[in-house]
């Protein structure tokens, strides 16, 4: 298999030489420095790196939440770079799903209403069969009519996962989805993300700085100072941790 063929068939999102700079002059921070990466379709990719290394920025750029200062971003066949608000809104509606670290749900809506919100906003029909599958996978059937305030943090985050999945986006982006959860709830959410890639072929990109969380992924990309510095496939927690330590060492030196 050649690289070009792979791009055409199995890449869900792609960054090409992406540069992102914040501020100017003295306060100038290069958050991303010529990052090129392909996110493979149907796989669970983790982006790792120390705090401030540009993980969130990369994810935001890939998802079209932020614009880039150099390079190009694609989601599926759509060139994200250069899209106006309407195009970006369409992209978010149809092609990407989000799970944030916190505050993922609207307090005025029930769990079910929150889950189907992206569809309702876009005026799309709910695929009942798929909805049921998702609900059963996240195990929320008996919580559907609850309001977010009546749910635990883990349950809320599982609702957010279900919401990201229910519209079958090209890519689900998750920024430290377990950052606010205890380890049991975190494991549930991670297991769920892993299964959605394995069982449903859903592309998932997750930002994390937790080696254990990264070990659920099929592939881990390491960022440091806005650059991709390493990559692991089918990692274990130990290997990830080692790599991190090694990276810290590199940076320290």
Partner 1 sequence: MIKATLKSLMARKLRLLLSGLAVVLGVMFVSGSFVLTDTLDRSFTSLFSSVYTGVDAQVTAKPKLEGGEGGPDYAVQSLPASTLDTVRGVDGVRAVTGDVIGSARAIGKNGKVLTTSGAPRVGDAWGEDLSGQRVLREGRAPTADNEVVLGGFLAKSGGFSVGDDVAVLTAAPKETFEVVGIFGYQGGRDSLGGEMSLSFSPATAHRVLLGEPDTYSSITVQAADGVSQDVVRDRVAAAVGADVQVKTGAELAKAQTDAIGEGLKFFNYILLGFAGIALFVGTFIIFNTFSIIVAQRTKELALMRAMGASRKQMMVSVVLEALVIGVIASVVGLGAGVGVGALLATLFATFGGGSLQLAAVGLPAAAVISSFAVGILVTMAASVFPAVRASRIAPVAAMREAATPDRPLTKPTVAGAVLSAAGGALLGVGLANAVLWMVFSGILVAFLGVALLTPLISKPVVAVIGGLLSWSMPGTLGRRNSARNPRRTAITAAALMVGIALITGVSIILTSATASITKVADTQISADLIISGEQQATFEPAVLDAVKATPGVESAFGFYSDYAVVNGEQQYLQAITDFSAWQRLFGLKATAGSFDGAAGRTVAVAEETAKEKGLGVGSAVTVQLSKGEQQTYTVAVVYAKNGAMDGIQLSAAAAVDFSQAKLTDGFAKAAAGTSVADVQKRIEPLFADNPEVSVQDRSAYVKQQAAQLDTVLLMVQILLALAILIAVLGVINTLALSVIERTRELGLLRAIGMRRSQIMRMITVESVVISVFGALLGLLVGTGLGVATVEALKDQGITELGFPWTQMGTYLAVAAVVGVVAAILPAIRAARLNVLNAISYE
Ligand X SMILES: Nc1ncnc2c1ncn2[C@@H]1O[C@H](COP(=O)(O)OP(=O)(O)O)[C@@H](O)[C@H]1O
User: Applying CB under 6 A, which residues contact ligand X?
Assistant: 22-23, 29, 31, 49, 51-57
Whole-number Å distance between alpha carbons of 57 and 131: 31
As measured in angstroms, the least distance from the Cβ of 32 to ligand X is 8
As measured in angstroms, the least distance from the Cβ of 160 to partner 1 is 10
As measured in angstroms, the least distance from the Cβ of 253 to partner 1 is 32
Contacts to partner 1 by CB under 8 A: 60, 65-66, 85-86, 89-90, 92-94, 97-98, 100, 103-109, 117-118, 120-123, 149, 163
Instruction: Select 124 or 245, whichever has its Cβ closest to partner 1.
Output: 124
Asked if residues 165 and 90 have their Cβ atoms less than 8 Å apart, the reply is: no
Write 106-110 long-range contacts (CB < 8 A, 24+).
Answer: 106/148, 107/147, 107/148, 107/149, 108/147, 109/147, 109/148, 110/144, 110/145, 110/146, 110/147
Q: Tell me the CA distances in angstroms from 50 to 33, 60, 194, one per residue in order.
A: 16, 17, 23
Does the protein bind Mg ion through residue 56 (CB under 5 A)?
A: yes
As measured in angstroms, the least distance from the Cβ of 55 to ligand X is 4
Whole-number Å distance between alpha carbons of 6 and 23: 37
State the binding partner of 237 from Mg ion, partner 1, ligand X, none, CB within 5 to 8 A by kind. none
State the binding partner of 92 from Mg ion, partner 1, ligand X, none, CB within 5 to 8 A by kind. partner 1
Instruction: Select 154 or 177, whichever has its Cβ closest to Mg ion.
Output: 177
State the binding partner of 51 from ligand X, Mg ion, partner 1, none, CB within 5 to 8 A by kind. ligand X
Asked if residues 19 and 168 have their Cβ atoms less than 8 Å apart, the reply is: no
Asked if residues 96 and 172 have their Cβ atoms less than 8 Å apart, the reply is: yes
The β-bridge relationship of strands 203-207 and 171-175 is parallel
Binding residues vs Mg ion (CB under 5 A): 56
């Amino acid at each position: 298999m050649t690289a070009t063929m792979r791009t055409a068939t199995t890449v869900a999102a792609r960054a090409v030489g992406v540069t992102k700079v914040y501020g100017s002059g003295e306060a100038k921070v290069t958050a991303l420095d010529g990052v090129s990466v392909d996110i493979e379709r149907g796989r669970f990719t983790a982006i790792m790196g120390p705090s401030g290394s540009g993980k969130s920025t990369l994810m935001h750029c890939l998802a079209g939440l932020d614009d880039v200062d150099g390079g190009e971003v694609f989601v599926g066949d759509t060139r994200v770079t250069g899209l106006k608000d309407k195009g970006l809104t369409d992209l978010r509606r149809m092609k990407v799903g989000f799970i944030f670290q916190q505050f993922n749900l609207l307090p005025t809506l029930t769990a079910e209403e929150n889950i189907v919100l992206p569809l309702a906003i876009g005026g799309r029909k709910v695929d009942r069969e798929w909805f049921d599958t998702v609900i059963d996978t996240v195990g929320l059937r008996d919580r559907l009519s609850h309001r977010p305030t009546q749910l635990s943090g883990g349950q809320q985050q599982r609702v957010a996962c279900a919401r990201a999945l229910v519209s079958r986006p090209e890519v689900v982006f998750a920024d430290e989805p377990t950052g606010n959860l205890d380890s049991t709830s975190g494991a549930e959410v991670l297991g769920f993300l892993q299964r959605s890639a394995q069982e449903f072929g859903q592309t998932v990109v997750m930002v994390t700085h937790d080696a254990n969380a990264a070990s659920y992924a099929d592939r881990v990309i390491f960022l440091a100072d806005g650059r991709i510095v390493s990559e692991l496939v089918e990692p274990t927690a130990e290997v990830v941790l080692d790599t991190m330590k090694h990276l810290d060492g590199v940076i320290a030196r």
